[in-house]
Amino acid sequence: MADMATALKIAAAGMRAQSSRMRIIAENVANADSAAQGPDGEPYRRKIAVFTEELDKTSGTALVRMSKAVPDMSDFRSKPEPGHPAADAQGYVKYPNVNSLIELMDMRQAQRSFEANVSVIENSRAMLARTLELLRSR
């Protein structure tokens, strides 16, 4: 039973971490087309989820968690829009360094990881139920 509880803890931690990652990705997508506030300002900067290992003291098991979201320091996109209020002297407007295709792929990967952890929990519950059935039938 201790191994089953450990598996459930690991899967739950994975689900929490991927859920946090999906929130960061959703924020990136929501801000993908927001321009800088002015010619000298910076637009939204893409964030990247950082995962760390955390020791569960009760079971001695290493669990994953999202520790922070760090800014992606890649270059901003620029578009020529001379009439825009945020255009610089050359007529270019800075846009976030968010690539929607990359965000979509990251979201899909996070979703698959989340679903894999859900599957672990469902299979663990089924195994526990089957074990209880076997014990009752004795």
- In angstroms, the CA 93 to CA 38 distance is 9
The per-residue pLDDT for 49 is 97
- In angstroms, the CA 60 to CA 54 distance is 10
Element of type H or E holding 15: helix 2-30
Closest CA to 22 of 98, 116, 103, 80: 103
For the ranges 17-26, 38-47, 98-107, 112-121, the lowest mean pLDDT is seen at 38-47
Give pLDDT tens digits for 31-44.
999 998 888 889 99
DSSP letter at 72?
A: -
Give pLDDT tens digits for 52-74.
999 988 888 999 999 999 999 99
User: What domain range includes position 9?
Assistant: 2-136
The per-residue pLDDT for 39 is 83
- In percent, the amount of the chain with pLDDT more than 90 equals 78
- In percent, the amount of the chain with pLDDT more than 70 equals 99
Q: Is the pLDDT of residue 6 over 70?
A: yes
The per-residue pLDDT for 38 is 84
Query: What is the torsional sign of CA 54, 9, 111, 95?
Result: negative
Q: Is the pLDDT of residue 2 over 80?
A: no
Q: Are 29 and 103 a contacting pair, CB within 8 Å?
A: yes
Q: How many domains does the structure of the chain reveal?
A: 1
Give pLDDT tens digits for 78-101.
999 999 999 999 999 999 999 999
- In angstroms, the CA 127 to CA 91 distance is 64
Long-range contacts of 60-68 (CB under 8 A, 24+ apart): 61/6, 61/9, 61/10, 63/9, 63/10, 63/13, 64/13, 64/14, 64/17, 65/13, 65/16, 65/17, 66/16, 66/17, 66/20, 66/21, 66/24
Confidence of residue 1 (pLDDT cuts 50, 70, 90): low
